[in-house]
Amino acid sequence: MYSPLSVKDTVLNIGFDDTDSPKGMCTTYLAYKLIDSLKKENVKFVDYPKLIRFNPNIPWKTRGNGAVSLKIETDNPAKIKNKVIRFVTKFSDLKNGANPGVVFFENDTIPKQMMEFSKNALWQLVHRKDAKKFISDNRLESFHLGNGQGLVGAIGAIGYQFNDHTFELLSYRKKSHFGKKRKINPSSVRMMQEKTYPKTFNSYDTKKQRIIFAPHGPDPVFFGIRGEDADSLLYASKMIKTKEKPLGHLIFKSNQGTGDHLQNELNSSALKAYSSGIITGVISKEPVVENGGHVKFSISKNGIELTCFVYKPTGITKEASSLVMGDLVRIGGGIRRSSSKYGRVLNVEFIEVLRLQRKTISQNPLCIKCNKKMKSKGTDQGFECVKCGKKATKKTSFVVPRQISEQLYIPQPSAHRHLTRPTQRLYIINKPKKFNDLIPWFSNYSN
């Protein structure tokens, strides 16, 4: 148990990342195991653990590109740091390519340069060399294994400042169940989502009739419920019916569902590969449906043209294919690296139609007597009704109703990234609230 704060106690920020691999483990699970151990020490948790998702367009990102930070008060920071390093070494999937990094920062106030580093990692490519230089320049304590890629997220997780936030309750599996199929009752998930709406989001895709809040891989996460506050998540978790008894749960404060990676305005004249952001422009090449059902179109801004792709799994290819030249749109997404076939390409995460161009089509004129289309007599020779012989000099034009509206279009839930702001959160901004340690934000069910 933690004793009252003394003048010798230190506020310690702990950031860590890149402890997992596609074949197993999870950075949040490391946080769970570490917190379970720290709760037996003389420490006080100052806030919820933070789960921060960074730029999703980094090609070598870990699953979900999420980093974790903890903020505690302790009278023995050296002991805690040693424990953290032991846990990171033990629970990192090193044999399958994990490159964990840990950063320690002893202060209650986060400096501006660390906030700026975190902000940059949210939407652009930040190299591990930049992280190592930042650590050296600011004399931070750190630890890493492998190439140290995890240091980027470790710094960023400590420095991240919330403009908006959500929460996620992650339920963890016992080690004996790692790699086995998750047996969760789908109807209980759907019922939970219906009963807790709009306080939770993205647990069940009603269009595809399937669970989307549980991973499919061998990692330790059983399921994760995302929502607006901790109480709602605890209430929701009690509705989930499973055939497996979880190990426990941990509630994180997160930037998931905030769309924070798409706040930056992309520079059309200097597009950098892997950067995320938004760009406003006019449709300059009408949509083409490619093999596989993906849609390609181009927008123009300041005389520069950018190719955009909307992929079929997003569920918004129909809307994308309804765009016409002259439509004014705001596009959010990530810049793909140039290839031999294409230059810089924007992989679309949302389309906001700001202004629709009037669409007209021309056709051979109708004979007002026979109500039949006239036939062309040849180039610049006019038109003639084959039935009565009546003539006309030019085609007729008429306005075509548009199959798209001036509004925002986002992917269907099953295609959402962790950071995608769902429709129900479009006008929600959660303000900071005082941390309440009495809420069961951490539970080990075996205790």
pLDDT in tens, 19-47: 987 777 899 999 999 999 999 988 999 99
Q: Where are the alpha helices (DSSP H) in 68-111?
A: 77-90
CB-CB contact of 38 with 118 (8 Å): no
Confidence of residue 3 (pLDDT cuts 50, 70, 90): very low
Average pLDDT over residues 176-199: 96
pLDDT band at 1 (very low <50, low <70, confident <90, very high): very low
Q: Is residue 365 predicted with pLDDT exceeding 70? A: yes
d(CA 122, CA 68): 14
Give SS3 for 172.
Answer: strand
Residue 20 pairs in a beta bridge with none
Write down the number of H helices and E strands in the chain.
Answer: 8, 24
Q: Could you give the CA distance from residue 262 to residue 412 in angstroms, rounded to a whole number?
A: 18
Provide the pLDDT for residue 8: 65
CA atoms within 13 A on the CB side of 166: 30
Among 203, 261, 256, 223, which Cα is nearest to 50's? 256
pLDDT of residue 182: 95
Query: Could you tell me which of 435, 442, 438, 440 has the C-alpha nearest to residue 46?
Result: 435
Q: What is the number of other CB atoms lying within 10 angstroms of the CB of residue 447?
A: 7
pLDDT(6) > 60: no
Which CATH topology does 263-358+400-415 take? OB fold (Dihydrolipoamide Acetyltransferase, E2P) (2.40.50)
Query: Which has the higher per-residue pLDDT, 244 or 400?
Result: 244
Report whether pLDDT(143) > 90: yes
Q: Kindly write down the DSSP assignment for every residue of 337-403, as one continuous string.
A: PP-SS-SSEEEEEEEEEEEPPP-EEEEPPBPTTT-SB-EE-STTS-EE-TTT--EESS-EEEEPPPS
Q: Has residue 217 got a pLDDT over 90?
A: no
Judge whether residue 83 has pLDDT over 80.
Answer: yes
Q: How confident is the model at residue 63 (pLDDT cuts 50, 70, 90)?
A: low
Residue recorded with tokens 């009739």? 209
Residue 186 has which token pair?
A: 């789908």
Residue 146 has pLDDT above 60, yes or no: yes
CA-nearest of 400, 140, 418 to 259 is 418
- Rounded to an integer, the average pLDDT of 62-84 is 92
How far is residue 78's CA from residue 83's CA, in Å, rounded to a whole number? 9
244 Cβ neighbours under 8 A, 6+ residues apart: 173, 177, 182, 183, 222
> Residue 231 — pLDDT band, cuts 50, 70, 90?
very high
Q: Is the pLDDT of residue 61 over 80?
A: no
User: What is the rounded average pLDDT of the residues 417-427?
Assistant: 94
- Tens of pLDDT, residues 147-174: 999 999 999 999 999 999 999 999 999 9
Q: What is the mean pLDDT of the chain?
A: 92
Percent of the chain whose predicted confidence (pLDDT) is above 70: 97
User: How many Å from the N-terminal Cα to the C-terminal Cα in the chain?
Assistant: 15
DSSP string, 278-327: EEEEEEEEEEEEPTTS-EEEEEEETTEEEEEEE-GGGS-HHHHHT--TT-
Q: Does domain 10-161 have CATH number 3.30.70.2200?
A: yes
**pLDDT at residue 397, as a whole number:** 82
Report how far residue 445's alpha carbon sits from residue 442's, in angstroms, rounded to the nearest whole number: 10
Name which of 226-235, 325-334, 364-373 the model is least confident about.
364-373
Give the residue with greater pLDDT, 132 vs 42. Answer: 132
Per-residue pLDDT reduced to its tens digit, 235-264: 999 999 999 999 999 999 999 999 999 999
Please identify, in words, the CATH class of the domain defined by 166-257.
alpha beta
pLDDT digits (tens, 9 = 90+) for 272-322: 999 999 999 999 999 999 999 999 999 999 999 999 999 999 999 999 999
Neighbours of 22 (CB within 10 A): 12
359-363: average pLDDT: 84
Lowest mean pLDDT among 100-109, 206-215, 243-252, 392-401: 392-401
Give the per-residue pLDDT at 2. Answer: 42
Beta-carbon count within 10 A of 307 CB: 16
Closest CA to 414 of 345, 294, 314: 314
Residue with the larger pLDDT of the pair 309 and 364:
309
For the chain, the structural domain boundaries read 10-161, 166-257, 263-358+400-415, 360-399
For residue 387, the one-letter residue type is K
User: Which whole number is the average pLDDT over 325-349?
Assistant: 91
